[in-house]
Structure 1
Amino acid sequence: MTQSASTLINAIAQHAKSDLAPMVTAIDQGQYPEQYLRKLGQLGGFSASVPQAQGGQGLDLSVQIDATTLVSRECGSTAFMVWCQSTCAWYLLNAANNAVRERYLARVASGELLAGTGMSNTVKHLAGIEKINLRATRTEQGYEVNGSLPWVSNIGEDHLAVVAAHVEDEGYIMFAVRCNAPGVTLRRCLPFSGMEGTQTLNVRFDKVTVSNNDVIAHPLQFKAYIQRIKPGFVLGQTGMGLGIIEASIESMRATNQTHSHVNVFLDDQAEDLAAELQTLKAQVADLARQAQTGEAPLLDVLKARLATSELALRATQSEVLHTGAKGYLMNHGAQRRQREAVFVAIVTPALKHLRKEINDLELLQAEAA
């Protein structure tokens, strides 16, 4: 790790312990940590993969994943919002059109403008899992968008959302929209069992005007653009899982100071999980550096993301079993991390989604061989 990367990571780690750790229970119960996120943006917590000339740290995606991992050690919900914000910066960095990048990238990268990614429905649609929810028609100045998205996280009236829509007979567009734009309506969702502090809202579009200056990719650009951003989109989520795993292992080790004589009979031991984690982290870091330059093999990316979900589920279940009744108390991190790990396994691309895409790609490779 370079000195500049080390300086960034150390600052984020200290900030997470001093400012985030005391708020974790409140965030889990529904408090949106807006001021923490804005300060994290000022520290560079969303912009490791963004060049300095465009308002970033000039590092790469592997360092951004390290930053997300550090936040996730303290709070998986907040790490998810770090992924939302840094991924919106990733979208804008790689935008096919200069105007939208110049308009928003530096402000999103710094946390001045908070942003949510509403691409779950589109990613599932492109994988053949569900129909796309937003529809767009061309206008003289851009597009008019209608439809609704059930869950978009890290958004509010003064935030930005990045979403995609189907254009009849043309394909798809991806665009940025202010959440207080005319025709955009935000509505509360039913309470979640976890991730309540992520400000996840229903977003409805009623004849929303999207100018060409806010379009990230037009229909003819969309396919190549999605292929470019998808590895980073998927890999960025691994930081959420990796941090949860690290925190679970640390908790297991602490419990073993008094209960190792009985915990030894459990299936997953801390040191075994730690060894698997180190191998996985090395794989993710290597793929992230390749994704930064557009060279990461998608199949390997999907497998790394799948392995992160599976290991997070195992580690958090083992932590609860190691800690016993204490870990089942609402004031203990074990039960919270278990809920957060389940989220890592169901957020798009979910574990079942990943397995489907991996299967589809492997079949295509076998047919081509």
Structure 2
Amino acid sequence: MPAINHDVQLDTLLQQELKPLVRAIDEKAYYPRDFLLQLGRNGFLSSEDKTVAEAAVQEVKVVQQVSSYCMTTGFNLWCHMAALTYVRHTENEELKERFLPALENGEILGATGLSNPMKFYADLEKLHLKAERVNGGYKLNGALPAVSNLGEGHWFGAVASENGRRIMVFVPCSDENLQLKEKVSYLGLNGSATFACRFDGVFIPDSQVLAEDADTFVQKIRPYFVTYQVPVGLGVIEAAIRSVEKCVNKQSGANQYLPVQAEDLQVRFDAVQEQFRDLLETGVSWKGILSVRKDTVYLTMDAVHAAMMHAGGSAYLQTSADGRRLREAYFFMNLTPTVKHLEKMFQ
């Protein structure tokens, strides 16, 4: 594959293909499926000749730039990156050979069904799915209340309990025993293709088992599960800072009297960004990435609130980009691991 000038190509793709869709994504629950596939087709998600860590350094930049235009799309991309993380780490070589190229090259899209399992491992919820061992695989029953980035031809990870242990599997949306009910009544993120999923004897062959020991596998993948969330918030912060800067001369410069200014946010942003960059370069640790994730979510909330104040009345319009980022940021605050979940883990 030829060398790619990622920054130039991605900015062009964002300007031409994503920017015109942002209002439809936010206001009409439009799901940007084709744009997400284009990222893979243009080589932005390829791990060829890279370690998992090296791939992450490039890919977090992609997630951040996408999120600076539209956090909903950035979140969808994170869902896909989570699925990629599962496949990159699995010891099921048959599964990896089948799905890794397709997920990286824009042939199929993936998602994560691990909100409930992550809460299960933090002693916050019971596991929602149960598995029964049958000839050649497992049958799954139960329900997941919300899984995003789903659609025709999509696949997602899930964890189920089986005789006192947990397994992790890769599930096709096309299974006839999987019922999907779309959820579009959210304050934001309605273009994220989020569905309630009911499993009624969904058969998962052994070739689609990510891990027979999900407890160990989740510990291995969870640092990167969270790593790809951080740039979702960083992209929103960047956009909010730019918005504050644009409002500097509003109403004869009255914004200068507000308690939070663009430079205040920029100093905090640079500090988080540097901490995140250092972590990527030295090796992503669980506690380290949780700390960066927590700092990112609080800064995201401060940044979008500041942008609302600086924009003033124009931010209160339904078509306002500042208002959209505010609503999206409240979702980021509640994305697993949520703020409550993070605070609990630091006690």
Say if 2:183 and 2:190, in contact at 8 Å, map to a contact too: no
Give the Cα–Cα distance (whole angstroms) in 2 for the partners of residues 190 and 26 of structure 1.
13
Distance 1:280 1:326, change over 3 A: same
Which of 258, 261, 264 is matched with 2:256 structurally? 264
1:357 paired residue number: 345
User: Against the structure 1 CA distance between its residues 262 and 53, is the aligned structure 2 distance closer, same or farther, given a 3 Å change threshold?
Assistant: closer
> Aligned partners of 2:93, 2:50: CA distance in 1, in Å?
14
Q: Which runs of 4+ in 1 moved over 4 A?
A: none
Q: State how many pairs are aligned.
A: 345
TM normalised by structure 2 equals: 0.95
Structure 1 residue aligned with 2:301, among 313, 322, 344?
313
Alpha-carbon spacing, 1:70–1:14, altered in 2? closer, same or farther (3 Å): same
Distance in 2 (alpha carbons) for counterparts of 1:341 and 1:288: 24
Instruction: Kindly indicate whether the alpha-carbon contact (under 8 Å) linking 1:86 and 1:109 is maintained by their aligned counterparts in 2.
Output: no
- Whether 1:217 aligns to 2:211 is yes
Which residue of the partner structure matches residue 366 of structure 1? none
**Partners of 1:275 and 1:73 in 2: how far apart?**
18
Partner of 2:42: 43
Between 254-263 and 73-82, the greater mean CA deviation after superposition: 254-263
CA shift in 2, pair 1:260/1:351, >3 Å? farther
Aligned to 1:150, the other structure's residue is in SS state: strand
Which of 13, 16, 19 is the equivalent residue of 2:17?
A: 19
Q: Which amino acid aligns with 1:150?
A: P
Instruction: Quote the Cα distance in structure 1 between the aligned partners of 2:320 and 2:338.
Output: 26
Distance change in 2, residues 1:260/1:288 (3 Å): farther
Match 1:287 to one of 279, 292, 311: 279
Q: In the alignment, what sits opposite 1:181?
A: 175
SS at match of 1:285: helix
List per-residue Cα deviations over 1:180-233 (Å, max 9, x = no partner).
1131111122511100001000111111111111011102xx233212211110
For structure 2, which runs of at least 5 residues remain unmatched after alignment?
Answer: none
Q: CA deviation at 1:259?
A: 4.5
Distance 1:38 1:161 in 2: 16
The 8 Å contact of residues 151 and 202 in structure 1, kept in 2 or not, is answered as: yes
Residue in structure 1 matched with residue 84 of structure 2 by the alignment: 89
Q: Is the 8 A contact 1:8 1:43 kept in 2?
A: no
- Alignment partners' CA distance in 1, 2:54 and 2:289: 20
Unaligned runs of 5+ in 1: 360-369
The match for 2:227 is 235
1:325 maps to which of 301, 313, 335: 313
Contact 1:46 1:85 in 2 (8 A): no
Q: Name the CA distance, whole Å, in 2 between partners of 1:310 and 1:276.
A: 11
The 5-angstrom pairing of residues 1-369 of structure 1 reads 7-29=5-27, 30-47=29-46, 50-52=47-49, 59-169=54-164, 171-219=165-213, 222-259=214-251, 261-290=253-282, 295-359=283-347
Contact 1:24/1:75 (CA < 8 Å) preserved in 2? yes
% identical equivalent positions: 32
